[in-house]
Amino acid sequence: MRSESQESILKSFINTSSTELKNFLENIDIKSYEKTVNIILEAEQNGNRLHITGIGKPGHVAGYIASLLSSTGTPTYELHGTEAVHGSSGQVRPGDVVIAISNSGETAELKATVAALKNNGAKIIAVTGNTSSWLAKEGDSFLFAGVEHEGDTLNRAPRASIIAEILVLQGLSIILQEIKEITPKQYVSWHPGGALGQLRETEK
């Protein structure tokens, strides 16, 4: 059993995560979004769709981002990372765009999925923390989402890297939302339930 107190363990995590994410945010390549945004907008103009996929924990990120993008004007479909090579890639038509998330960019299952999608005519937006990875090189565009340390002594379980992936894709959602000039009325129409489904006094 480790001798450190719970307080010191948590403080170490907070400090490491804070440093990593501060460095990440300060060094985001704004220009890297331009090609990605153009790929998505062009696909939509041609009647194609946006999908998002990942393996393991990035797969959970994919679910959240699909929901976020859909709720802010860019309909997005979650694609199961491993089922894609067992028939689910049939949801992706030629000309569709798939955001593929992998911290290492070398995950075997995702490589198989991306290869199948590209073979079927999809365009790939690579989101990874490894600029020299297979995924980064295979993508039609690339968004960097990487950190050096996850926040714990093992430096293995995805923690800070997951936050980086979420942040970089939240940034994408904001750019698309503003380009499309989504109004409060439109937003509320997609959120009829809960507090988000009500126009604020300043929006009526």
Instruction: Report the pLDDT value the prediction gives residue 2, as an integer from 0 to 100.
Output: 62
Residue 197 inside a domain? The answer is: no
Instruction: Report the pLDDT value the prediction gives residue 78, as an integer from 0 to 100.
Output: 98
Give the pLDDT confidence of 43-80 residue by residue, as tens digits.
Answer: 999 999 999 999 999 999 999 999 999 999 999 999 99
- Asked whether residue 1 carries a pLDDT value surpassing 60, the answer given is no
Q: What's the CATH number where 75 sits?
A: 3.40.50.10490
Q: What is the mean pLDDT of residues 131-160?
A: 97
Q: What percent of the chain has pLDDT over 90?
A: 89
Of the candidates 142, 150, 68, the one whose C-alpha atom is nearest the C-alpha of residue 101 is: 142
Q: What is the mean pLDDT of residues 28-52?
A: 97
CB-based contact 79:89 (threshold 8 Å): yes
CB-based contact 143:116 (threshold 8 Å): no
Residue 177 inside a domain? The answer is: yes
- Asked whether residue 186 carries a pLDDT value surpassing 80, the answer given is yes
- Asked whether residue 193 carries a pLDDT value surpassing 60, the answer given is yes
Residue 41 inside a domain? The answer is: yes
One-letter amino acid at 88 equals S
Of the candidates 99, 26, 38, the one whose C-alpha atom is nearest the C-alpha of residue 68 is: 99
Residue 200 inside a domain? The answer is: no
Structural domain of residue 44, as residue ranges? 7-191
Of the candidates 149, 129, 152, 136, the one whose C-alpha atom is nearest the C-alpha of residue 61 is: 129
Whole-number Å distance between alpha carbons of 86 and 133 = 25
Lowest-confidence range among 50-64, 140-154, 181-195?
181-195
Residue 182 inside a domain? The answer is: yes
Instruction: Report the pLDDT value the prediction gives residue 201, as an integer from 0 to 100.
Output: 78
Residue 204 inside a domain? The answer is: no
User: What is the number of domains present in the chain?
Assistant: 1
Q: What is the mean pLDDT of residues 15-24?
A: 97
Enter the pTM of the model.
0.95
